[in-house]
């Protein structure tokens, strides 16, 4: 069955510290992987995506993610967190048909000054 | 370019009432879908459509109906609202291409409360 697991419900980091948000997926075919960010009361904004090729993908706002097929993971990273990064982050997986997506339960990021 | 437009933004219903959440996209996308977002559960797929006249169920379809008579519109109907349907609903559209630019375009959401 297709599923996405984000094991960390809440994470707090200090401003300027590095960040890694974990995502593991289960998918029966070649996965398309995404990270979205949602600020309070807002819709979802795409941070980055992986379809094929280089397993390290760069996104907007200084985020990057690495696809590790052997670990079924697609962790999101940022070298130095800014206060404006406080939001909820969702990992998602979809297939080549691109019509059905499965989302993780989200990780809420809090940034300490 | 409007993108994906959802209406209304907020709605309060009484148990047993029916209503339709509207979703329209002006990007000529093939695929449209409805998700509900509940705290601690992420987004769950309710129904999706791969083109006009074609719809299918997602993870949590019970209590909801959809139709896709045109490429642009994909309304979600609650036939008899229940408190368990209190949630934030997102409509999304997407497409496939040879350029790898596929992604989900989300509407701004509808916050629904069922009393």
What is the per-residue pLDDT for A96?
Answer: 61
Mutation choice for A interface testing from B51, B104, B111 by most A CBs within 10 A: B104
**Most confident of the ranges B2-6, B21-25, B99-103:** B21-25
Cβ atoms A80, A14 nearer than 8 A: no
Instruction: Give pLDDT, residue B102.
Output: 64
Average pLDDT in the B84-92 region?
95
Chain A residue with CA closest to B39: the answer is A105
Q: Which runs of E-coded beta strand occur in chain B?
A: 4-7, 10-13, 19-25, 31-38, 42-51, 54-57, 64-66, 76-78, 87-94, 105-106, 110-114
Shortest alpha-carbon distance between residue A23 and chain B (Å)? 13
* Residue-averaged pLDDT of chain A: 91
Task: Output the CA–CA distances (angstroms, integers) from residue A60 to A27, A45, A107, B29, B79, in the order listed.
Answer: 26, 10, 18, 24, 40
Q: pLDDT class for B99, splitting at 50, 70, 90?
A: low
pLDDT for residue A100: 75
pLDDT in tens, A37-51: 998 878 888 899 998
What number is the average pLDDT over the span A1-7?
89
Closest CB to B33: pick one of A4, A42, A99.
Answer: A99
Q: b/e per residue, B75-90, with b = 16+ CB within 10 A?
A: bbebeebeeebbbbbb
pLDDT digits (tens, 9 = 90+) for A66-106: 999 999 999 999 999 999 999 999 999 987 665 678 899 99
Q: List beta partners, residue A46.
A: A36
Range of weakest confidence among A84-98, B70-84, B96-110:
B96-110
- Taking all residues of chain B, what is their mean pLDDT, rounded to a whole number? 91
More confident site: B68 or A99: B68
Residue in A42, A43, A103 closest to B42 by CB: A103
Mean pLDDT, rounded, for B19-45: 92
Judge whether residue A63 has pLDDT over 90: yes
Q: CB distance B45–A102 less than 8 Å?
A: yes
């Amino acid at each position: 069955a297709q599923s996405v697991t984000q094991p960390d419900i809440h994470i707090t980091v200090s401003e300027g510290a590095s960040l890694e948000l974990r995502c593991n997926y289960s998918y029966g075919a070649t996965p398309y992987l995404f990270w979205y960010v949602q600020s309070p009361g807002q819709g979802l904004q795409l941070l980055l995506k992986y379809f094929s090729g280089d397993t390290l993908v760069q996104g907007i706002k200084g985020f990057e993610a690495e696809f590790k097929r052997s670990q079924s993971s697609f962790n999101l990273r940022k070298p130095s967190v800014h206060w404006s990064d406080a939001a909820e982050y969702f990992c998602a997986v979809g297939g080549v048909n691109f019509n059905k997506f499965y989302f993780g339960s989200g990780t809420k990021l809090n940034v300490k000054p | 370019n409007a993108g994906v437009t959802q209406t209304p933004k907020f709605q309060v219903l009484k148990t047993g009432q029916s209503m339709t959440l509207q979703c329209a996209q002006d990007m000529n996308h093939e695929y449209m879908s409805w998700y509900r977002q509940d705290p601690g559960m992420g987004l769950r797929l309710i129904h999706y459509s791969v083109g006009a006249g074609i719809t299918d169920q997602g993870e949590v379809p019970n209590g909801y109906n959809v139709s896709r008579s045109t490429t642009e519109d994909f309304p979600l109907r609650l036939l008899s609202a229940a408190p368990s349907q209190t949630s934030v609903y997102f409509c999304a559209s997407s497409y496939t291409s040879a350029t790898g630019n596929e992604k989900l375009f989300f509407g701004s959401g509808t916050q629904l409360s069922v009393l």
